[in-house]
Chain A
Amino acid sequence: MPRSNKLHPFTILAIAVAVVTMTTAASQWWLSCAVIGLCFLITGWAGHTKKLALLSGAMLLPTFLSLLLIHGLIPRVPSPAVAQWGPLRVTVHGLEVALSLGLRTAVLVVVGLLCGLLIDKHQLVAAIDLSPVPPQVGYLLAATLFLLPQMTEKQRQIGEAQTLRNAGIGTGLTGWFQRVRLRAVPLVLTSMQDAQDRAVHLSARGFPATGVRTRLREVPDTSVQRGIRWAAVICAVLGPVMILAPTWFGIN
């Protein structure tokens, strides 16, 4: 069992929301860096450092580059240049804006990915099922979470069948687009057929439950965790207000 499974999924989510809202409101580079560093420490404890680094890198690198293009190369206010290549120049102010926005986005991405890596999908679905929300919510979330791997497998099967008939075997970008076009419709149709086939048996198995429902899976929870969740929710709502209020009233 993963070490993070001792934590209730809602605890992780509540803390994550609080951290993201407060860090975004604070907009301090050192705080953003500290949060990102802490996330990597936690992911190291959970054993997912490489995955987090790869995923966040893949998402943040293009984000940083686009922010640099927008704010770094095209400054809105006059500012000394750090570097210049003909008509292009990177200014101090532009760089500051790009880094500030980039770091805030980085916090959102890294914290979000960390949640995805720490929370077990089945634990999350069970937690939702055991909460007072309608049973369809848990099923919808589960179906969405498990849809991607199922659809990947289906499109692989469709691809194999089409290859056998010499369809969609082109190379390069054109070949890729052709494959996407050829596989899209059968993929959607088979997925719909699959959903229709399952629906009647789900009804036969009493889904959605009309009365009280239970789960065999246990989702660990303690009064301490419940306390942390409440505190995190309060921080998520009041934290940004308290951080931003002095600015609104012109105290700083």
Chain B
Amino acid sequence: MMDRNLSAQSTTVLGLDLHSYTYLHAQSSVLSDIRLEIQPGSLTVISGHSGSGKSTLGAVLAGLLPRYDMDQLVGSVSVNGTKVEFSDSLQPRVDIAQWSKHVGLLPQEAGHYLSGIRGTVSEELVFCLENQGMPREQMHQLVTALAQRLGLEHLLDRHPQQLSGGQERLVAMAALAISEPEVLVLDEPLAGLDKQATALVSQMINLLRAQGTALVVLADSVHFWSHEADALWSLEQGTLQRLSTVDQQHQAKTSKVERQPASDDSRVLLNMASVQLAYPGAARPAVQDLDLQVRAGQCLGLAGANGSGKTTVLKAMAGLLKPTTGTLDTVGQTGLLLQNSSDQLFERTVLREVSFGIPKKSPLRKRVPEVLAQLGLEHFGDTHPYELPASARRLVALATVLVREPQILLLDEPTEALDEAGETILQEVINSVLERGGAVVLSSHDEQFMQRTADRVHVMN
């Protein structure tokens, strides 16, 4: 690794002077002309739509990119007084394990950070310390102190795979923090979290900052962070731009969607009476005594904490789960968008993906190009779904549902991974379903979206 020591007076813990970053086989650079300096204890927020290069920037800061002998970075990265130069002719190999002692990255899918092979949260927290050969007593002391500081004592003996989404993110953040890197890069740290988990993550961020840890948050919108952040940036066309107050207000702007309210005598499309839902082998039912009615032209929102049964209810509505007691009646076909798009995509091109499961002679085949155009995916027909940005991938999953013209559209956390443009498309889709006499049931932790979209909200306990 080529490096030189920087001035001892410099207070910057992480500096990036990037001229260009180009992926292997890519025609053009994904990032260009970026200068960033991170100070101890600061909170830097970088916003950008899906595919803008946020995750690439995060991975460059964390030393996970460029891939040696593959991608090309021109510029330099300074970490803790050491400057690493990259040029057309010189692409040094970065020792990721050493780099991560200074800069840690929490990926958007926090579970990917966890090793997946440890039996308790305590062991998962100290995974990197074990690899450094730290004595057991010292690890015990560190885990105890960290858990006390971050309020994680009750999770220490739990199995990491039995954690909720919010808890998993907290544990992953704590696992990052235990080796006390100077900088933490957090990719969409609040995506899919309920109010309580959001508060806990936010509290943890404040605690880490108070200790002097610098945080770089990559998010779709700066709205949540605007009051706390020391610096707000927007990543557009691969370049960073400082956000002004006007821009922040623009990003935070929300308004209720104007729609004709459904009449009370319109047809009932979905009726649930005293429904109890339970998973096979589970000790207790997931949902009890649920009464719901949705009429044509209505959009019903399901709110509630992680684990309150929102997904279970949507699955039951889609016919994946049969009620153990009570009645569930639907009129017309249902279509469910699952929370995790990756679970819903199997084919090697977008076109094949959207056509999957539709018989060759079915008239629904003719709807495929129409639906792709409606969702702005018409140019991605031959692209592999996994090569698309997260927001476009989410829209592909939505296309697989819409192509069947469901009478009742069921959406599980639809805004997760969607950028602003994607959210606008989603809003249009919901309106079009309601206008043609269908109904929409959606679950979301995004309160603003819920407020804008749903005619009424049912809170799950």
Contact B117 A205 (CB under 8 A): no
**Interface residue? A79 (CB, 8 A):** no
User: A200-216: contact bitstring with B at CB < 8 Å (1 yes, 0 no)?
Assistant: 11111111110111111
Contact B336 A206 (CB under 8 A): no
Residue of A nearest to B172 (CB): A201
Residues of B within 8 A of A207 (CB): 115, 127, 131
Residues of A within 8 A of B318 (CB): 164
A190 vs B120: C-alpha distance in the bound complex, in angstroms?
A: 25
Contact B343 A158 (CB under 8 A): yes
A120 vs B342: C-alpha distance in the bound complex, in angstroms?
A: 32
**Interface residue? B122 (CB, 8 A):** yes
Contact A185 B96 (CB under 8 A): no
Which of B107, B117, B143, B335 is the one whose CB lies under 8 Å from A164?
B335
Query: Beyond A161-B343, A162-B357, A190-B342, is A205–B136 a contact (Cβ under 8 Å)?
Result: no
A198 vs B115: C-alpha distance in the bound complex, in angstroms?
A: 7
Give the shortest distance, in Å, between B155 (CB) and chain A (any CB). 15
Query: Beyond A146-B116, A164-B318, A216-B136, is A204–B105 a contact (Cβ under 8 Å)?
Result: yes
**Interface residue? B386 (CB, 8 A):** yes
Which of B97, B143, B343, B346 is the one whose CB lies under 8 Å from A206?
B97
**Interface residue? B332 (CB, 8 A):** no
**Interface residue? B140 (CB, 8 A):** yes
* Contacting residues of chain B (305-361) with chain A, CB-CB under 8 angstroms: 315, 318, 320, 335-336, 338, 340, 342-344, 346, 356-358
Residues of A within 8 A of B109 (CB): 197
A17 vs B342: C-alpha distance in the bound complex, in angstroms?
A: 44
Give the shortest distance, in Å, between A32 (CB) and chain B (any CB). 35
Query: Beyond A163-B320, A167-B356, A200-B64, is A216–B115 a contact (Cβ under 8 Å)?
Result: no
**Interface residue? B400 (CB, 8 A):** yes
Contact A165 B357 (CB under 8 A): yes
Residues of A within 8 A of B401 (CB): 164
Which of A129, A197, A204 is the one whose CB lies under 8 Å from B104?
A204
Residue of A nearest to B346 (CB): A186
- Chain B interface extent, by class: 35 or more
Contact A201 B356 (CB under 8 A): no
**Interface residue? A166 (CB, 8 A):** yes
Give the shortest distance, in Å, between B162 (CB) and chain A (any CB). 12
Residues of A within 8 A of B97 (CB): 203-206
Which of A164, A201, A215, A218 is the one whose CB lies under 8 Å from B113?
A201
Query: Beyond A160-B315, A201-B112, A217-B123, is A142–B346 a contact (Cβ under 8 Å)?
Result: no
A186 vs B335: C-alpha distance in the bound complex, in angstroms?
A: 21
User: A178-193: contact bitstring with B at CB < 8 Å (1 yes, 0 no)?
Assistant: 0000100110011001
Contact A164 B320 (CB under 8 A): yes
Give the shortest distance, in Å, between A77 (CB) and chain B (any CB). 52
A204 vs B106: C-alpha distance in the bound complex, in angstroms?
A: 11
Contact A205 B133 (CB under 8 A): no
Contact A214 B100 (CB under 8 A): no
Contact A214 B356 (CB under 8 A): no
Residues of B within 8 A of A186 (CB): 346
A8 vs B20: C-alpha distance in the bound complex, in angstroms?
A: 54
Which of A120, A135, A162, A211 is the one whose CB lies under 8 Å from B346?
A162
**Interface residue? A125 (CB, 8 A):** yes
A207 vs B178: C-alpha distance in the bound complex, in angstroms?
A: 16
Interface centre among A120, A185, A194, A214 (most CB of B within 10 A): A214
Contact A216 B143 (CB under 8 A): yes
User: A110-123: contact bitstring with B at CB < 8 Å (1 yes, 0 no)?
Assistant: 00000000001110
Contact A198 B112 (CB under 8 A): yes
A142 vs B104: C-alpha distance in the bound complex, in angstroms?
A: 25
Residue of B nearest to A142 (CB): B117
Contact B100 A204 (CB under 8 A): yes
Contact A216 B130 (CB under 8 A): yes
Give the shortest distance, in Å, between A153 (CB) and chain B (any CB). 9
A203 vs B127: C-alpha distance in the bound complex, in angstroms?
A: 11
Contact A200 B139 (CB under 8 A): no
Which of B96, B117, B119, B131 is the one whose CB lies under 8 Å from A200?
B96
Starting from the known contacts A129-B130, A164-B318, A166-B357, 16 additional A-B residue pairs (CB-CB under 8 Å) come to: A122-B123, A142-B117, A164-B401, A186-B346, A197-B107, A201-B105, A201-B112, A202-B115, A204-B104, A204-B105, A205-B131, A214-B130, A214-B136, A214-B139, A215-B123, A215-B136
- 6 residue pairs, one from A and one from B, having the closest CB atoms: A206-B131, A165-B357, A122-B119, A142-B117, A212-B133, A167-B357
Residues of B within 8 A of A (CB): 62-64, 96-97, 99-100, 104-105, 107, 109, 112-113, 115-120, 122-123, 126-136, 139-140, 143, 175, 315, 318, 320, 335-336, 338, 340, 342-344, 346, 356-358, 386, 400-401, 404
**Selected A-B contacts with CB under 8 Å, 10 pairs:** A125-B117, A157-B338, A166-B357, A200-B64, A201-B105, A204-B99, A205-B115, A209-B132, A211-B133, A216-B122
Residues of A within 8 A of B (CB): 120-122, 125, 129, 135, 139, 142-143, 146, 150, 157-158, 160-167, 182, 185-186, 189-190, 193-194, 197-198, 200-209, 211-218
